[in-house]
Structures are given as C-alpha cells and as structure tokens.
Amino acid sequence: MNFRYSRTGLAGSEKRLQRGLEILPGLLSWSVLTGLLALTFIRPLWAALLVIAFLLYWLLRMLYLTLFLIIGYTALTAEQRTDWPAWIRTLEAAGTSGRLEPPPVGEALLERLAWKTHLQESKKALGSGGPIPSPDEIHHLVIFPIAREEKAVYEQGIESLLRQGTPLDRITVFLAVEALAPEPIQKQALEVCRKYRNRFRELRAVFHPAGLPGEARVKGANVTHAAKEAAAFLQEHGIPFDRVIVSCFDADTVVSPAYLACLTYHFMTCPRRNQASFQPIPVYHNNIWEVPGFARVLDVGASFFQLVEATNPEKLVTFSSHSMSFQALVEMDYWPVDMISDDSAIFWKALIHYDGDYRVVPMYVTVSMDVAASEDWRRTAINVYKQKRRWAWGVENFPLVARAFLRNRAIPRRLKIKHLFKLLEGHLAWATWPFILTFIGWLPAITAGRDFSDTVLYYSTPRISLVIYQLASLSLATSVVLSILLLPRPKLRFSVARRALHLIEWLSVPLISILLSALPALDAQTRLMLGRYMEFWVTEKKRRRER
C-alpha cells in the first residue's frame, strides 16, 4: 500500500483524524490516572476493587514477562556459543549440493538446543524452494549517524566492525555527518575515513545538508541522505540491493564480534529476507560502570525489555540499532525524514508498505551503546530523562499506523488489531502503571471515609496488595540476578561494599520507574496530545579518559 508515513502535509478530514489519533494516547493515560484518583475519593470501594483487579493482572503479567526474560536470556547465552560462520558454510554447501550437513555440536544442553533450532531453520530455508544467497554475494552497508559526536565515540564502533569474521571487502561504512556539525567534528570524520578507508570496501563521510524541504532536524533525515548516497555507490559498483543488508546504528554503537556473521546467517535463512528487519539485543555496556546506579538500572531494564520482546517475533518492532534488507528500505523510500522515532517508524512503514507481509527477526546477539551520561549525576538524570522521553515519543507512530490500518484493506484485521492494541496498550502501561502501583493503589485506604473504613474490603485490600507485591518481588529478584549475569565485568576491581551497592540499586526501581520512565512517557504523550511536537535532542555521549 502506498501510504505517506508522515503527519505533515495533511488536509481536511485526514488532518482531523490524524490530530484526533494524536490526542488519544495522552487522553487515555490522563483519563486512567485522574479517573482512578477521582474514584478513590468518590467511590473508594470501587477504586479498591479496581486496584485489586489491576494488581492481580500486573502480577500475572510480571510473572509472564519474567518467564520469557529467563527464556530470552537463556537463548542469548546459548547463542554465544553458536559458530555462525560454520552455519553459513553449511548453508552455502547445502545450497550447492542440496544436502544439509550441519556443523558439529558440543555436549552442553543449551548449545544442543540452539543447534537444533538452527538445524530446523536451515532445513526450512532449504525446503522453501527459493535460492539461498551465497555469503559471497551478501554485502553489509553500515551507517553511523554523527551530529556532534567526537571520533572517540564512533571509532570504537568502527573498530568493532574490523573484528567481525566477515570479509572486510564486503563491508561498506558510511559516516552520515550533519552539515551543521561543528567544523572540528567534520574534520574528525574525514580523518577517521582516511584512517580506515583501506580496511573496508569503502568508508566515506557523507554530509547531510541542512534545511532540505520536507525534512525536520532528525536522525532519519540524515541517515536517509546517506542511504541514498550509498544506493548510488552500490549501483555504481553493480551490487544488487537485494543482496545488501543495511545496518543503521547510533554513533556509539559497538557490535559484538559475531554480529555480522549472525546477521548473514539470519538473512540467508529468512524465508522472505527482502521483507524483513533483523533486531539484535541492545545493551548499554560501553560505559555502564561509569554512570550512576539509577541510569544503570534503567538501561539494564531496557535490555531486559528487548530480551522479552525477542521471544515474541510476531509482535517484535525494531528498536534503536538494527539491520534490514536494503532493497526493502529503497522500495519504501527510506526512513521517515520528519520523525524522531525513525527506528520503530521504519518497521511500521514497512509493514504498511508490504500490506502486513513484513517481519522482524530477533537475533540473540548484542550491540552495545552508551548510557546517556554526563559530568555529574544531576545532569546524567536530566540526560536520561530526555532520552527516555525521546524513546517514548515513539507514540507518534500510533496515529500514523492507525490511519494507515483504517485505509488498508489488505492487512488482515487480526494483525491490525494485534499491532494497534500492543502499540497503544504498551504506551499506556508505560505512562501509567508506575503511578498506579506507587501512589494510587494506596489511596483508597487513606482517603476512605467512615462508610468505607468499616468494611471488610478496607482491611483486605492492603493485605492482598502486600501478598501480590511479595510475589512480584520474585520478578525483581530474577531481574537482579540476570543483571549481574548480563553486565560486563568492570574494568576496575570494585570492593565488596561497592558490589553490594549494585544489588541495592535495584531497590530504587519504584522511584526511578516513576521519575525516569513513567514521567517522561507521560510527558511525551502529553506533548503529542497538545500538539507540541518534539525537536530532536542529541543524547550527550561522553567517554571518560582511560585511567
């Protein structure tokens, strides 16, 4: 379906519909919060019953997410031992000989489970009938957007590409530099190009002019400009787009050594590879030990969220650094150039463009980025708040997706309902649940008048709530354990006391979930509701000097 994925340039009823749908998420969130608050005063009995029903729902949801967090983490651990190049060779050989001879497998249970999964995937790919591209045909285009970042930030990412098992002559790197970037930044980009150009097939800096018509000051405009330049480059060198996988990273993205091999494997086995995106697990390990505890907890939580999402590929949406078919990118006219949330918007754009026949393939391999840090904890808190608000601005996709779904008859209704519900419910929960759990849940007991305070319900509610919170603490305990396993070893040895403090950081979850998660989400939704569209704010990324 041809649908202009943008809120600008609309008129008449379409504009009104767009505006109405923009108001909806914020209106719902505020209605839930104020409605519950009012109910605690007007009808404390109903409020108490609603709170109990909500708490039970929340508990079951927490247990559900925890189970799949464990599964996701297990999968991530299992895949760390996967020999991706071996599987690539296996597929290549099977493509030629028609016989699948899988690589050897170790004794460990997880390794065997992963091996079995890949065996099934390979069999399915071979059985699909379509040709599997040879790894020699597959090219990687990597784009690093640069707005104000110094070379120390993105040079690590480039170095990480050098450590991939993939032949470097099949990797092309474009530095998408904003023309408005300060001159030293532009010079540094050119220096980096000179330093690493000969290592890759191509490494060049592309300067994105400011003020192009129809563009906002967003990352999507920058990387789109670079992608168009890359398209010209690929055409010039006779590289077909359907054999190119584009990876759009952040300036601070550092990929794990197995990233490109894992990506190649999944591209080869994906049944409709040119209608697919490939989503790794984002972690924030670049500077995780240099930041205050609250920032660390939040970003580990973000990684956990993606780990859980990865176990549900049917509803997976791209987030942050990810990869996709370059052909698909070109066919749908690249990333939106007037939206902040280009990382998720590209998925929705693709889903609509291909009438629902688009998928995101989870990859259990990590890409590491920076935690939004600054010189002191106050500025770090502000940076984190602004970053989370930018993430929550992904709610801007809802009205666009809803409008597109209303027009598109080809996408199955079930798929539309599934995606729309998840999109809306996800943002609603993000903005409201911490407030309900921390404040509103306790209000009926405090605001109760005499007619409520002498009921059985008045005494039962705190007791039931306590039991539910105690059960939910299992989920918190699991998160603490997994966070210890997931976090990289600190470069410096920490004392026992300091390490114990890291565990205690998780006790601050109720507070930081309000201040640095729910509040920015509510902020973003309210801005959208009021038509105060957000300007792009470049996340401050600083690296401490090595001690």
Partner 1 sequence: MIIRLRRIVFWFLVAVYLIACPWLLLYARGIILQPARTMDPLVETGLIHVATQPAGARLFLENRRFAQKTPTAIRELLPGPYRLSIRLNGHRPWERTIQVQPSKTGMLDPILLLPRRIRIQPIGTTAWTRLFPLEKTGFLFLASGKTAQQCALYEVDRNRLYPVPVPWPKARLKTVHHEPGSRRLLLEGEAGGARKWLAVSLSEKPAARDLTPLIPEGTEEILWDPSAPEQLFAVEGTAVHRIDTEQGALFPRWLEGVRGLAAREGQLTVLKTSGRLEWEPLADRTDPTVLDDSGEALDWLEETFYRIHRMTETTTLFLGGRGQLLSSRLPHLLEENGVRGLRPEGRTKQAAVWTGKRLALLDLEPEPAAAGGFEKGATLDWVYSRGREIRQAVWVRRGAYLLILDRDTVRLLETATRKDPALNWSETGALEEILEVRPGSGIHWDERRGILYGLERKSGRLFRAALAPPRKEGL
- Residue 94 Cβ, how far from partner 1 at the closest point, in Å? 22
Nearer to partner 1 by Cβ, of 450 and 489: the residue is: 450
How far apart are the C-alpha atoms of 184 and 511, rounded to whole Å? 40
Identify the three-state secondary structure at position 408. Answer: coil
Nearer to partner 1 by Cβ, of 161 and 443: the residue is: 443
Segment contacting partner 1 (CB under 8 A): 54-62, 271-279, 497-505, 537-545? 54-62
Tell me which residues in 71-110 interact with partner 1 (CB under 8 A): 71, 75
DSSP state of 502: H
Binding pattern for the stretch 457-476 against partner 1, x by CB under 8 A and - elsewhere: xxxxx--x------------
Strand partners, 517: none
Q: Are strands 244-248 and 322-325 parallel, antiparallel or unpaired?
A: antiparallel
**Residue from 311, 318, 325, 478 in contact with partner 1 (CB under 8 A):** 311
- Residue 51 Cβ, how far from partner 1 at the closest point, in Å? 10
Contact 186, 151 (CB under 8 A): no
Q: If binding is defined by CB under 8 A, does position 446 make contact with partner 1?
A: no
Q: If binding is defined by CB under 8 A, does position 312 make contact with partner 1?
A: yes
Segment contacting partner 1 (CB under 8 A): 55-63, 244-252, 253-261, 381-389? 55-63
**Residue from 53, 212, 477, 503 in contact with partner 1 (CB under 8 A):** 53
Give me the phi and psi of 282, to 5 degrees please: -80, 135
Q: Are strands 139-146 and 171-178 parallel, antiparallel or unpaired?
A: parallel
Using CB under 8 A as the binding criterion, the count of chain residues that bind partner 1 stands at 29
The 10 Å CB-count burial string (b at 16+, else e) for 272-292 is: ebbbbbbbbbbbbbbbbbbbb
Q: If binding is defined by CB under 8 A, does position 456 make contact with partner 1?
A: yes
Q: If binding is defined by CB under 8 A, does position 42 make contact with partner 1?
A: no
Contacts with 185 (C-beta within 8 Å, 6 or more apart), sequence order: 146, 148, 149, 150, 177
How far apart are the C-alpha atoms of 294 and 506, rounded to whole Å? 8
Contact 283, 367 (CB under 8 A): yes
**Residue from 454, 498, 499, 503 in contact with partner 1 (CB under 8 A):** 454
- Residue 313 Cβ, how far from partner 1 at the closest point, in Å? 7
Identify the three-state secondary structure at position 287. Answer: coil
Segment contacting partner 1 (CB under 8 A): 23-31, 210-218, 281-289, 309-317? 309-317
Q: Which amino acid is at 83?
A: D
Segment contacting partner 1 (CB under 8 A): 56-64, 164-172, 259-267, 295-303? 56-64
Q: If binding is defined by CB under 8 A, does position 119 make contact with partner 1?
A: no
- Residue 75 Cβ, how far from partner 1 at the closest point, in Å? 8
Contacts with 313 (C-beta within 8 Å, 6 or more apart), sequence order: 359, 360, 361, 362
Identify the three-state secondary structure at position 334. Answer: coil
**Residue from 42, 56, 232, 406 in contact with partner 1 (CB under 8 A):** 56
Identify the three-state secondary structure at position 519. Answer: helix
**Residue from 36, 52, 147, 246 in contact with partner 1 (CB under 8 A):** 52
User: Rule CB under 8 A: which residues touch partner 1?
Assistant: 48-49, 52-53, 56-57, 60-61, 63-64, 67-68, 71, 75, 117, 311-314, 450, 454-461, 464
